[in-house]
Amino acid sequence: MDWRRTHFCGAVTEELAGQEVVVNGWVNRRRDLGGMIFVDLRDRFGLVQIVFDPNLLDDGVFAQAEKLRGEFVVSVRGIVQLRPEGQANPNLKTGKVEIHARDLTILSAAKTPPFEINRAEDVDESLRLKYRYLHLRSKDLQDAIILRHQVAAEARNFLNENHFLEIETPMLIRSTPEGARDFIVPSRVHPGEFYALPQSPQMFKQLLMISGFDRYYQIVRCFRDEDLRADRQPEFTQIDVEMSFVEQEDVMGLMEQMICHIIKKVKGITIDGPIPRMTYQEAMERYGSDKPDTRFGMELVTLNEGLNDSEFRVFASTISTGGFIRGINAEGAGTFTRREIDQLTEKAEQWGARGLIWMAVEEGTVRSPIAKFLTEGEINYIVESLRGKPGDLLLLVADSFKVTSEVLGRLRLLLGEQLGMIDENRFDLLWVVEWPLLEYDEEAGRYVAAHHPFTSPLDEDIELLETDPGRARAKAYDLVLNGVELGGGSIRIYDRSVQEKMFKALGFTMDEAMSQFGYFMEAFEYGAPPHGGIAFGFDRLIMLLAGRDSIRDVIAFPKTVSARDLMVDAPAPVNQSQLQELKIKMLD
């Protein structure tokens, strides 16, 4: 028998009733009633019920059907029939029909899998990762991987329509000291020298602009040798974009169209109007975060004004040293037990606060360990400023702007979740703009690029590079979705002298800058167009669209938090001869 399929399992519908079809797939489940066998056959497109009825079959075929077990790979030839009255299965796309088998070929038998494919979600993750190819058979992962493909396809459609070219850039490049730790690759041809895997194709895409390609994109793998998280893998994918002859608004305008296009196409959700913009400063003031989750309120409030004359020592010393007293209102959390409040305090301290002040609002009064140190006017001021109602819990932190932002911003997220204030069905997009260009790194004792060293300062802030670098703002923009940084980009420096100032501000000597980035700065001297771009975290985007909480769920073959691939068992030692060839010797 020719076993090759005529139709996909998931595509066998009423219109085919009466027709002979051949389907190929995996046995999802079998129900052997003795005289009659039902099998749900699975492929990428869904399930279809096969009926093995001895009255319609050769004995030999029925005997074969009795051998079927879960995950056997088979080909079935049969007639599509409408199911008898009352026998339709509304849970199945193909539930109105079934295939009455005439012939069966077992293409591949299967051992009993180490876990049930249909219930893989609860199984220990190390087992699922070892048998990733089996877990990938589950509907959840298939859906995620299919969604991933659709998003990539829609991104390409949109960018292609808009005159972008997809251009590949090298994977073996030069290590640079800025940013994350590089993965390095030894060179056999040049013993003692190393390539690095790209953290992003940043300089290459800028050089492509200088080459005149005008609009570039790439759905590209990037590598960072840093510790992992639920949303961080050592290799991950970006939608990388760069455009010439543009200003910030041009990039943001087009890219928000792209994201809205993708969300519309794959989720059917229309996002109205332009995506809201917020400056970095405003985000920090209102949400204590540079990537605020705007799906709920609980905004931070600064309370210095009414507490200027407070005699409470914590407040007085904070204000006299130029610090801030800021708070949030955890609505309805007044019922928290002492233990729950202690846990919040513990978190606050872990995040850098010296303490957490709480105030439970009650009918006409407040309950708080610091109430006795405050005047009635001060208490009223705090309650009113935070719009406290009976039953609310007010939480205050007194410290620097940075610490109060950090701590209250995180508490806000924690409480928003605990109190069920987050509407999981919302897609809240937000642009955060006017980023600081540089941040002071206490450890390194110098400024480091907040974004990367090629980000252009605002025109009016260029001078600050030499006078007060910490105050310089950048032509940078981040797109935030539900409190997750989806992507970030900037208008780039395209003038050699500005780029030199930037390196100088970062503490590079001219020699260092030249040896690391000389080729790049030289390129600016041969006619560089104004340009800018953006890169989106592709895996994170898929994770959010798929409603998952780990990017491992949207990557076909992910690594564990200790950066291992449990399926291929990598990393692994190599032969002595391989090391020899590379002139590499182990230290221990």
Partner RNA sequence: GGAGCCGUGGUGUAGUUGGUUAACACGCCGGCCUGUCACGCCGGAGAUCGCGGGUUCGAGUCCCGUCGGUUCCGCCA
Task: Give residues 261-300 in contact with RNA (rule: CB under 7 A).
Answer: 290
Greatest Cα-to-Cα distance within the chain, rounded to the nearest angstrom: 96
- Cα–Cα distance measured from residue 385 to residue 390, given in angstroms and rounded to the nearest whole number: 14
Contact status: 212 vs RNA (CB under 7 A) = no
Angle separating helix axes 510-523 and 496-505, nearest 10 degrees: 150
Dihedral sign for Cα atoms in the order 396, 398, 401, 405:
negative
Contact status: 587 vs RNA (CB under 7 A) = no
- Cα–Cα distance measured from residue 332 to residue 320, given in angstroms and rounded to the nearest whole number: 33
Integer CA distances (angstroms), 351 to 405, 418, 450, in order: 10, 18, 21
> Nearer to RNA by C-beta: 334 or 558?
558
**Contact range with RNA by CB under 7 A, out of 177-185, 244-252, 313-321, 372-380:** 177-185
Contact status: 562 vs RNA (CB under 7 A) = yes
Return the residue matching tokens 């180490």: 114
Interacting residue with RNA among 35, 191, 377, 420 (CB under 7 A)? 35
Contact status: 392 vs RNA (CB under 7 A) = no
Integer CA distances (angstroms), 539 to 174, 339, 535, in order: 25, 38, 12
Give least dist CB 415 to RNA, A: 15
Contact status: 55 vs RNA (CB under 7 A) = yes
Give least dist CB 291 to RNA, A: 9
**Residue of 545, 408, 427 whose CA lies nearest to 480:** 427
- Cα–Cα distance measured from residue 371 to residue 368, given in angstroms and rounded to the nearest whole number: 5
> Nearer to RNA by C-beta: 117 or 396?
117
For residues 45 and 64, the answer to whether their CB atoms sit within 8 Å is no
**Contact range with RNA by CB under 7 A, out of 48-56, 133-141, 211-219, 514-522:** 48-56
> Nearer to RNA by C-beta: 265 or 286?
286
Give least dist CB 374 to RNA, A: 31
Give least dist CB 442 to RNA, A: 9
Contact status: 224 vs RNA (CB under 7 A) = yes
For residues 242 and 532, the answer to whether their CB atoms sit within 8 Å is yes
Contact status: 89 vs RNA (CB under 7 A) = yes
Give least dist CB 267 to RNA, A: 23
Record the tokens describing residue 119, joined without a space: 């219930």
- Cα–Cα distance measured from residue 298 to residue 305, given in angstroms and rounded to the nearest whole number: 20
98-137 mask for RNA (x: CB under 7 A)? x-------------x-xxx--x--xxxxxx-x--------
- Cα–Cα distance measured from residue 135 to residue 112, given in angstroms and rounded to the nearest whole number: 14
Give least dist CB 372 to RNA, A: 33
For residues 80 and 21, the answer to whether their CB atoms sit within 8 Å is yes
Q: Which residues contact residue 204 at a Cβ distance below 8 angstroms, ignoring those fewer than 6 apart?
A: 169, 170, 173, 198
Interacting residue with RNA among 33, 189, 572, 586 (CB under 7 A)? 33
**Contact range with RNA by CB under 7 A, out of 207-215, 219-227, 456-464, 570-578:** 219-227
**Contact range with RNA by CB under 7 A, out of 206-214, 318-326, 368-376, 558-566:** 558-566
Contact status: 32 vs RNA (CB under 7 A) = yes
For residues 475 and 490, the answer to whether their CB atoms sit within 8 Å is yes
* Total residues in contact with RNA, by rule CB under 7 A: 67
Interacting residue with RNA among 11, 73, 79, 88 (CB under 7 A)? 88
For residues 316 and 362, the answer to whether their CB atoms sit within 8 Å is no
Site residues (vs RNA, CB under 7 A): 29, 31-36, 38, 40, 49, 51, 53-55, 69-70, 83-84, 87-89, 91-92, 95, 98, 112, 114-116, 119, 122-127, 129, 179-181, 199-200, 224, 226-232, 290, 350-351, 435, 443, 450-451, 485, 488, 535, 550, 552, 560-562, 564, 566
